Structure 1
Amino acid sequence: MRTSRRPSLLPLLALCALAPPTQAYELYNEDDGATVLNAELGAGFGWYSASRNYRGNPEQYPGRMHWQEGYAKYGLTGSTDKLGAGSVYGGLSMLSSGTWGDGDIGAITAGTERTSALEDAFLGWRSGDAIPWLGQDGVDFSFGRQLVTVDGFLITDDGFNTGKAFSPIPGVSDGRFDRGGAFYLGQRLAFGNTAVLKLGGTEGLHGSLIWLKSDNPGQSKTEMAVATVDYSTPIGSLGSTYVRGLDVDERYVFGDRGERKGMNIYSIRGQGNAGIENADFAFEVARQEKRSGSQRGMFFDAGYTFVDTPWQPTVSYRYSRYSEGWDFFFQGGYRGRYQGEVAVNYGGSVTANMEINDVLLQLKPTERLTLNAMAFDFKQMSRRDELDFSAREIDLFLDWQVTDHVTLSPLVGFYKPDKWQGNGGVQSGSAATNVYLQFIVWLSF
């Protein structure tokens, strides 16, 4: 892998529609849900192929590659309101993952990763109606190892699932960043240590105070404090997020990750229909203050669903922009809508020094079948970088819930970069269109 390449930070599930289906098997239920214990099992397996790669080694990887990924998550969740005021809840789970074949085309996994490890281990308390002036469940406190998502695009999860091929520190290839592969399926999402206090429920004025410590080497094991405040109404919400970078693990620092210690991030965001039925709007504008200077990141999207038209088509446009030194942080999809398949996962960074326009068309022939088409234009703003990641991409995919337990997600993508390895890009062979294929089976029981 060329050390000048900025690594992508998005382990994507399905490009725009369904997350893996989740279900639970009830093991115990007392007094109509007063005390509940559930068993949960989810799994996924994906087959992938591409006509070009982005590994920077044309002799070892001249072009087409094939690989597979899989994971299984298994555990228990439960809750009870019999221990006093409010209710206590918690979860405990394990996750097994692996990558086979050639490894992915972006030099993240090698195809030999196999790992089973603890995923969730958390406890929490909700106040119920014990504090009436804060509303129902006006206090929600949880701690431990768990998935934490903050509204907006700054913190989605801790799901950058690297493998043995990921070596962003020059001269270091000892596997210290290996997290068990399954980079694309990306289900290792929980932060290693958390404390989350939510106040005010989800309506009107509400907010949160959060402490997070990542145990992900691909995120330099960043530790941070977060505060949010929101005001929600039936037509939408406005809010603000503040993030303070507390620390990083120096053994895993690469690029500008060392600047996360002491970094401040501020954002203003909003989403809703603005009183227009079947419309959907969202935006966020964020600023990072770090030692090297101030950076900006933002997005805006607008969409509309034609509910009275056959197949209920949805049309949506999104614009996003990142300044040259923007740290992508723990960013993920914008409310489940991501920044392309090849571009953001494998083909090069779209997370800094980039302006992106994309359009979505979505159709629902049935309740269980969703058809999607997305088109992207990636324009690198500054030419001071050694590499040029400007490109265009089209992705066609569907999500078919075959049964309550099985969902199929085939996809074909067409990625056309402006440059290739021979003239300032990262794609192998030439700047011809890379045809990318994937087929994923999601299982839940």
Structure 2
Amino acid sequence: MRYHSILGVITLAGLTAHAQALPLIDTPDTHVSVEGLAAYGLFDSRKRYDGGEGGKHWREGFIKYGLKGDTRMADAGTLYGAFALVSSATWGDGDAGGFTDGSERTTKIEDAYLGWRSADLFPAFGQDGVDFSFGRQVYKVGRGFLINDDGPNLGKGVADGSLNRGGAYYLGARHAFDRTAVLRLGGEQGWHGSAAWLKSDNRAQAEPELSVVDLQYTQTIGTLAATWIHGLDVSRRFASEFQQRRDGMNVYGLRAEGNAGIDNASFAAEYALQDAQGDQARAWYLEAGYRFADLLWAPTLTARYTRYGQNWDSLLTGYSTGYGTWFQGEVAANYAGPFNSNTAVSHLGLKANPLEALTLGVLFFDFRTLGDRQVRNLDGRELDLFAEWAVSPHLIVTPLIGLYRPERSAADGGSQSGGNGTNLYSQLTVAVPF
């Protein structure tokens, strides 16, 4: 199961919801602002992956709106917090994977948290080197390979609607964990890290409860980090047999990222081991990229290989640093599968900037199923072409076309209905930060 996030597009365009905030109070010590984001998308898929015939045509939208603020207390650090609602919907046929049916409409609380930063009270940890927060908020580990946030956003199309979060499946309207307590120590250099308790209210994830410890060491050339995740509980009501293993699961991860001292280069790698009631699974990736700064449009070339074990639980991964992270292929990762388990993915990406506010990209993915015992064969290839255009600080437009070709159809052990011919998928999303 996959969800996207239009927030990631805004980040890539060099904009954030904070930059568009409307100030209510703006003094040297206190800041309170109204923040919001509206997003709307048009989607079309010539093929479908829910067992039906024909194509799918649908629309998605959401609006997030609320308050965010902070106040500096004399010799006592800084208090901060936020409260926001999200209204979301899906219209039309529902998505090509059958996770929504087009009738979803919901308004719910998204952000509701309070926090405290230490200012210069603890010099050993640096400026604001102690940061504690609790409530309903997003928590992320590294590049989001293991934990990015609390998606996905399913609708009424599966499980008789019992997993419905209100639509906007692709746009990813909701991200925050229902209950959290997060302690961050240290700055951005040297030793630093975080410890967190997370409780999800996402029924599609079986409402897991987790503890997380993440320790990092950062220098100019990059970051080395180690992560431990321990599963505390899941909802027996909503957990599949596979998800029940999260209760008591341990996940151990090592990662590295940086430029290794090479200008315009980027490298990243992560390795993780899951131990679920004695059943072990592994996932890892290697990635290298280079920006040709002296060439026309300064193109960036990226190559990556990812491998998810046959019994790998994708946990709380999500859209992280751009298209293809960490769900790879807009058709495959959203609708057709594979869904970050029992697969190896080879990826090549090319991005360029003909204008400062315009990014053009081409992404290629090759999917190979690792094991074929009583599972669907989801071998296939996908080519995605997209643009990210920040028309203004209050308007970001992102068209995308995807060409997905599975090796097998649903009738032959795959997932695509109507044969294994190439699916033409298209979308146009518009975001309005305010």
Normalized against structure 2, the TM-score is what? 0.96
Structure 1 residue 385 displacement after superposition: 3.2
Whichever residue aligns with residue 322 of structure 2, its letter is G
Confirm or deny: 8 A CA contact 1:347 1:426 kept in the other structure: yes
Q: Secondary structure at the match of 1:399?
A: strand
**Selected match of 2:37 from 7, 20, 42:** 42
Matches of 1:326 and 1:15, distance apart in 2: 25
Please name the residue that 1:28 is paired with: 25
Cα deviation per residue 1:180-215 (whole Å; 9 max; x = unaligned)? Answer: 010000020000000000011221001111000001
Does 2:408 match 1:419? yes
Q: In structure 2, what residue type is equivalent to 1:166?
A: V
1:133 aligned counterpart, secondary structure: helix
Structure 1: which 5+ residue stretches go unaligned? 1-7, 168-172
| Corresponding residue to 2:248 among 230, 255, 262 | 262
Cross-structure match for 1:197 = 183
Are 1:18 and 2:12 matched, yes or no?
yes
Pair 1:88 & 2:79 matched: yes
Can you give the 5+ residue segments of structure 2 that lack an aligned partner in the other structure? none
Matched AA of 1:374: L
User: Which deviations, in whole Å up to 9, do the C-alpha atoms of 1:150-188 show, x marking residues without a partner?
Assistant: 114100010200000022xxxxx2x21000010000020
Tell me if 1:381 matches 2:376: no
State yes or no: 1:166 paired with 2:148: no
Partner of 1:79: 70
1:171-186 equivalence runs, <5 A: 173=160, 175-186=161-172
Q: Distance in 1 between matches of 2:131 and 2:372?
A: 47
Q: Distance in 1 between matches of 2:8 and 2:148?
A: 15
CA distance in 1, matches of 2:16, 2:26: 22
Separation of aligned partners in 2, 1:427 and 1:234:
46
Structure 1 vs Structure 2 CA RMSD: 1.5
Q: What stretches of structure 1 move > 2 A for 4+ residues in a row?
A: 9-21, 333-337
Q: Which residue of 2 aligns with 1:344?
A: 333
Query: Does residue 265 of structure 2 align to residue 272 of structure 1?
Result: no
Any idea what the Cα deviations from partners look like across 1:393-419, whole Å, max 9, x if unmatched? 000000000111000000000000011
**Aligned equivalents of 1:132 and 1:425: distance in 2?**
58
Which segment drifts farther, 104-113 or 379-388? 379-388
Cα distance in 1 for partners of 2:38, 2:5 equals 15
Helix, strand or coil at the partner of 2:410: coil
Counterpart of 1:127?
A: 118
One-letter identity of the residue aligned with 1:47:
L
- Residues 137-286 of structure 1: matches in 2 within 5 Å? 137-152=128-143, 153-167=145-159, 173=160, 175-286=161-272
Match of 2:421 among 428, 432, 441: 432
Displacement of 1:376: 0.4
How far apart in 1 are the matches of 2:306 and 2:173? 25
Q: 1:83 to 1:336 in 2, by over 3 A?
A: farther
State the 1:255 CA deviation. Answer: 4.3
Q: TM-score, normalised by structure 1?
A: 0.93
Q: Give the letter aligned to residue 157 of structure 2.
A: A
Shift of 1:83: 5.7
Counterpart of 1:353 in structure 2 is 342
How far did residue 337 of structure 1 move? 4.0
Count of residue pairs the alignment pairs up? 426
- The residue identity in structure 1 corresponding to 2:122 is I
Q: Secondary structure at the match of 1:142?
A: strand
Q: Which amino acid aligns with 1:11?
A: H
Query: Shift of residue 21 of structure 1?
Result: 4.3
Partners of 2:5 and 2:173 within 8 A in 1? no
| 2:315 pairs with 1:324 | no
Query: In the TM superposition, what whole-angstrom CA distance separates every residue of 1:369-407 from its partner, at most 9, and x where no partner exists?
Result: 000000000000111133111110000000000111000
How far apart, in 1, do the equivalents of 2:282 and 2:364 lie?
24
Deviation of residue 254 (structure 1)?
Answer: 1.6
2:202 partner amino acid: N
1:110 to 101, 110, 119: 101
Identity %: 45
Provide the rounded CA distance (Å) in 1 between the counterparts of 2:67 and 2:229.
31
CA change 1:258–1:412 in 2 (3 A) is: same
Distance 1:177 1:114, change over 3 A: same
Quote the Cα distance in structure 2 between the aligned partners of 1:330 and 1:199.
23
Letter in 1 for 2:272: A
Deviation string for 1:59-116 (max 9, x for gaps)? xxx1111000000000000001126411010000000000000000101101000000
* Contact in 2 for aligned 1:21/1:405 (Cα 8 Å): no
8 A Cα contact 1:92 1:120, kept in partner: yes
